[in-house]
Structure 1
């Protein structure tokens, strides 16, 4: 059966409307910087210490991360389970915030027994996206989330797009971890680790995290710590 002229006309109108929407979205797109935090092993923490302690831990992280993000001109977009999503006006501010969040978490952990410590992974990416209704959308969000998933405990991973903007900042030290596969992308993405502590503390922290993983005190599904955290950062 051949389509009627009326149905063809409706299809033409739909295609035209779609093209107009796509063009409108393109006009509103801009380069955004998105940061995600994620608490490693939060489910295990709830199971081990109970709902009350687990909720208190989540609330504490959200409050602390939000304060640091705002200090660096960032905007918390939303919390998703044990994660905080934020947007920044430029990548340097996002990485500085990530460094301060990790340092704050480390200081907090120093006051707690190993079994009660929590560790964060943080991912940052910059790319095209758009703001709508107080939220952020686009490929930039998807890549930032997937970079975060590949991050190890107490680690910050940033994309190559973010790294390019940090070349003139001597206080932000990074080294390449090579290219990783990002779900939904044909080409691999080079990622860099942003270092937030000195080499001695870094090596000690890695040893402690490795021991915690082996004991089962820290649970990080899908993450191979040895692959992500070199013993001697460059």
Structure 2
């Protein structure tokens, strides 16, 4: 029977609205871990390689999501463009699934050229939603999408997982120890600024996060990518040449460093260094020939062309204020 919307008074309609809202929340309201992931740089990838390659990249993303949510008890809600939206009954399972997705993407990238690497960003929020078991809606969904995209707004073009404080507080101590605080984020349509943390999915005792030059004291934060280039030039024919541009104290010394000197490849158990140049490269006192590859442990010292000494470290562990309280 159709409801008569013309006869009731304003007060009666307002009361009915409140009753319907309460009924919706009682029947369909749940608190869930909401996750959103998307592909970094997908627009440029489609432009360079075409629709078929771009769609294949998206499918790799969706396949990894399906595998992870199946293993951790989640549910895929929707995919649109290069993004995926999925939920879990608890935040720890969601955090582990997001970490598994990133590790799986990294493992796949080992067998592919750099330009075809799959780089993902993700967001996680713990909050109230309305769901009928199929669709999921509410402010929590919108907030999570903003969190996942916040790195893009900041110009961050690397893999990262960002969590709201509400999600962080649902994590056990072991997972909290893998989080580091980020500056408060000004998200579009969200007030006030949102407290966020980044979840590390790799073991910082295995993977260095920064490199320090002993001669100049300069420190570079290593981008979260699966292939990192080191050399003396920043660009070549309008394309980024190296992730870390090496410069010595003088132009003469810098010229001894090759344009592309060495690269780091991210493996399942740590980085490996591959020498790209005939110019000398040493790892912990051992010379690495051009085309050869050696493990790069945390704390390794790399000497470049007998000019620069680079030490690979994980300084986050000792920096006050980087861990959430």
TM range (shorter): 0.7 to 0.9
Return the match for 2:203 from 176, 198, 213. 198
Higher Cα radius of gyration: 2
**Which has the bigger relative contact order, CA under 8 A and spacing at least 6?**
1
Structure 1 counterpart of 2:137:
137
Per the normalisation by structure 2, the TM-score is 0.60
Partners of 1:14 and 1:184 in 2: CA distance: 29
Query: Are the counterparts in 1 of residues 160 and 224 from structure 2 also a CA contact under 8 Å?
Result: no
Return the match for 1:180 from 164, 175, 185. 185
Structure 2 counterpart of 1:83:
83
Query: Are the counterparts in 1 of residues 150 and 187 from structure 2 also a CA contact under 8 Å?
Result: no
Give deviations 1:118-160, integer Å, cap 9, x for gaps: 2000100001112036111111101110000113421100110
Secondary structure of 2:180's aligned partner: strand
Query: Are the counterparts in 2 of residues 178 and 190 from structure 1 also a CA contact under 8 Å?
Result: yes
Q: List aligned pairs for 1:107-118, cutoff 5 A.
A: 107-118=107-118
Query: Are the counterparts in 2 of residues 166 and 172 from structure 1 also a CA contact under 8 Å?
Result: no
Partners of 1:7 and 1:86 in 2: CA distance: 41
Secondary structure of 1:43's aligned partner: helix
Is the alpha carbon distance of 1:216 and 1:134 closer, same or farther for their aligned partners in structure 2, counting shifts above 3 Å? farther
Query: Are the counterparts in 2 of residues 33 and 140 from structure 1 also a CA contact under 8 Å?
Result: no
Partners of 2:240 and 2:24 in 1: CA distance: 47
Question: Is the aligned partner of 1:22 residue 2:11?
Answer: no
Is the alpha carbon distance of 1:157 and 1:87 closer, same or farther for their aligned partners in structure 2, counting shifts above 3 Å? same
Q: How far 1:13 sits from its partner (Å)? A: 4.2
Return the match for 1:161 from 136, 158, 166. 166
Structure 1 residue ranges without an equivalent (≥5) = 1-5, 218-230
Is the alpha carbon distance of 1:170 and 1:145 closer, same or farther for their aligned partners in structure 2, counting shifts above 3 Å? closer
Per the normalisation by structure 1, the TM-score is 0.81
Query: Are the counterparts in 2 of residues 127 and 161 from structure 1 also a CA contact under 8 Å?
Result: yes
Partners of 1:7 and 1:57 in 2: CA distance: 53
Is the alpha carbon distance of 1:11 and 1:133 closer, same or farther for their aligned partners in structure 2, counting shifts above 3 Å? farther
Structure 2 counterpart of 1:226:
none
Number of equivalences: 215
Partners of 2:131 and 2:108 in 1: CA distance: 34
Structure 2 residue ranges without an equivalent (≥5) = 211-221, 242-313, 318-325
Partners of 2:52 and 2:77 in 1: CA distance: 25
Partners of 1:156 and 1:53 in 2: CA distance: 25
Structure 1 counterpart of 2:268:
none
Q: How far 1:169 sits from its partner (Å)? A: 2.5
Structure 1 counterpart of 2:98:
98
Q: How far 1:178 sits from its partner (Å)? A: 2.7
Secondary structure of 1:146's aligned partner: helix
Query: Are the counterparts in 1 of residues 35 and 125 from structure 2 also a CA contact under 8 Å?
Result: yes
Partners of 1:7 and 1:49 in 2: CA distance: 58
Deviates more, 1:73-82 or 1:196-205: 196-205
Structure 2 counterpart of 1:150:
150
Structure 2 counterpart of 1:233:
316
